C-alpha cells in the first residue's frame, strides 16, 4: 500500500519531500513530491510497513476505541490467521488487506496527521511510476516479499513502485491492485499488471 497526500498539503516547499509525524506514535513517514497536471501531490516513499499498519489494527480492534468512528462494516476484521502469511513483519510491507481496509487506514492516518491521505488514483500512481529503480519480481525474489526500500528507488526517490507487493489504486471502475508483486515476471511489472 502506497498512499498519497493531496495537492494543497501544507509543506514548506511545494517541490520538496517532507517527513510526516503521526500524533501519539513513534513512527514517521517520508512523503515524496510528484508533479501532475492537477498540481503537486506527495506519495509515501515506501510501501506502508507492518510497523505502522499494526498500530492501526491495534487501535481499531481495541474495545477502548469503539468511539474511533470505524464500525464492523467499515473496519478490518481481526485476523484468524497470520495476515503476513509468514513473509515477515517488522520492516516488511503490509499485505492481505482489502481496499476497504486500506481506505479505513487512510482515514485513520488523516485523523492523526491533519492531512488528507488516500489510496492513489491510477493516474497518480502512473505519475509516480517514473523510470529507474529496482524491483523484487518472480526472477529474483526467491518466492517471498522483502523489506521495504531494499532495491534502488525510482528517479523520484520512491521505492517498490513495481514488484515486491501489489499496490491498491482507485480507477474509474473501482479499486484494483496493480504494479505486480514478487510473483510477477519482471517484464510484466507496471500499471497493466493486475493481481
Distances (CA, A) of 182 to 13, 36, 57, 160, 163: 35, 28, 25, 10, 5
What confidence score (pLDDT) does residue 145 get? 95
Asked whether the predicted pLDDT for residue 30 surpasses 60, the reply is: yes
**Mean pLDDT of all residues in the chain?**
86
Q: Determine the average pLDDT of the residues in 153-168.
A: 95
Please give the residue that has the higher pLDDT: either 42 or 193: 42
What confidence score (pLDDT) does residue 165 get? 95
Share of the chain above pLDDT 70, in %: 82
Amino acid at each position: 500500500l502506497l498512499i498519497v497526500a493531496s495537492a494543497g498539503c501544507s509543506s514548506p516547499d511545494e517541490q520538496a519531500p517532507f517527513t510526516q509525524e503521526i500524533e501519539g506514535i513513534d513512527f514517521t513517514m517520508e512523503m515524496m513530491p510528484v508533479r501532475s497536471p492537477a498540481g503537486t501531490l506527495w506519495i509515501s516513499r515506501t510501501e506502508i510497513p507492518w510497523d505502522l499498519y499494526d498500530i492501526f489494527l491495534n487501535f481499531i480492534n481495541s474495545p477502548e476505541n469503539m468511539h474511533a468512528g470505524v464500525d464492523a462494516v467499515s473496519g478490518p476484521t481481526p485476523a484468524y490467521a497470520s495476515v503476513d502469511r509468514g513473509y515477515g513483519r517488522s520492516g516488511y510491507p503490509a499485505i492481505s488487506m482489502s481496499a476497504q481496509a486500506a481506505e479505513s487506514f487512510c482515514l485513520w492516518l488523516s485523523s492523526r496527521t491533519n492531512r488528507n491521505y488516500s489510496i492513489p488514483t491510477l493516474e497518480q500512481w502512473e505519475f509516480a511510476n517514473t523510470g529507474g529503480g529496482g524491483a523484487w519480481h518472480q526472477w529474483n525474489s526467491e518466492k517471498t516479499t522483502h523489506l521495504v526500500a531494499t532495491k534502488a528507488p525510482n528517479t523520484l526517490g520512491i521505492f517498490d513502485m513495481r514488484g515486491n507487493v501489489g499496490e491498491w489504486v482507485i480507477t474509474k471502475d473501482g479499486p484494483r491492485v496493480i504494479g505486480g508483486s514478487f510473483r510477477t515476471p519482471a517484464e510484466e511489472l507496471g500499471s497493466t499488471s493486475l493481481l
